[in-house]
Structure 1
Amino acid sequence: MTEASQRYRTIVDVLAVLQRSDGRVLLVRRAADAEYAPGLLTVVGGHLEDGETVSAGALREAHEEVGVTVDEENLEFCGLIHYRGEAGGRLGTVFMAQRWQGEPFNAEPDKHTGLVWAQPSQPPADCHPYTAAVLRAFSAGSLYTPVNWAPAATEGHQ
């Protein structure tokens, strides 16, 4: 096995936090039979696709999942979440939009069962733990948040 094939790899998520003027953010409820986070609330988002920037991925996911169009100038980088769960690591790039075109709706009824507007500072109990971490970091204005990493793993390495 070569050194390159042994390097750490992670999933890159592109997350679009759509926030209304009352401060609430949009969450999607995953279908009960979903492979990822079945029955739980998640932030609008998904995996980065080959050939796209993280901001383009967030714009795409907002359109695919909830049918809204966000202009890139209305998309603001909010933070980076490095989450370690049972299935391994995820690197979430978090973007926020307060302006978009269209009324959000469940544009992927095969993957989601509904939409919920929630206060980011008080994540609903039925949020996926990753989503709850994203919402807490977003609410706190944190630009970088490691979650579920041992303290030594978050220190710099030479």
Structure 2
Amino acid sequence: MKPSVSCVFVCHDGDGRILLARRSVRARDEPGTWDCGAGALEFGETFESAVTREVGEEYAAAPLAIRQLGVRNVLRADSHWVAVVFAVLVDPAEVRIAEPHKFDELGWFTPQALPSPLHSQLAETLALFG
């Protein structure tokens, strides 16, 4: 199995809150957990294009600013992802669930008051968000 590249994004409002989505029962993994967004990099895409596409697909919003935070090597029992992590400024008024088969709730949270349970990979991603 070869590694895949994922663009992981922590959407924020510029005022200290981050956007998290609760994964629905039909989510690919860890249903019921809260997570930031992510999506696979497609052939020929720039990182910024992938993030813009994925934020639109997941949250129906257009990024106002995109900043690369770092890279994580994510090894799981059945997959290996190279996760390029971004901070993405969005307008909270634009955000909605655009993929109801993946998510059943959205919420804005401060890093000090996160919901529970969290996706197993979220803590390491938020450490890069700082």
Report the 3-state secondary structure (helix = DSSP H, G, I; strand = E; otherwise coil) of the residue aligned with 1:110: coil
Counterpart CA distance in 2 for 1:108 and 1:54 is 21
Task: Name the residue aligned to 1:156.
Answer: none
Greater relative CO (CA pairs within 8 A, separation 6+): 2
| TM-score, normalisation: structure 2 | 0.85
| TM-score, normalisation: structure 1 | 0.72
Q: Deviations over 1:47-68 (max 9, x none)?
A: 1112211221111111000010
Bigger share in helix: 1
Task: Name the residue aligned to 2:87.
Answer: 96
Unaligned ranges ≥5, structure 1: 1-7, 140-158
Unaligned ranges ≥5, structure 2: none
Counterpart CA distance in 1 for 2:26 and 2:33 is 11
Counterpart CA distance in 1 for 2:119 and 2:49 is 24
Task: Name the residue aligned to 1:132.
Answer: 123
Task: Name the residue aligned to 2:98.
Answer: 107
Bigger share in strand: 2
Q: Deviations over 1:99-128 (max 9, x none)?
A: 448521001112110112223356543111
Task: Name the residue aligned to 2:6.
Answer: 13
Ranges of 4+ aligned residues in structure 1 off by more than 4 Å: 99-102
Two-structure CA RMSD over aligned residues (Å): 2.1
- Higher Rg: 1
- Report the number of matched residues: 130
Counterpart CA distance in 1 for 2:100 and 2:66 is 25
Counterpart CA distance in 1 for 2:76 and 2:110 is 24
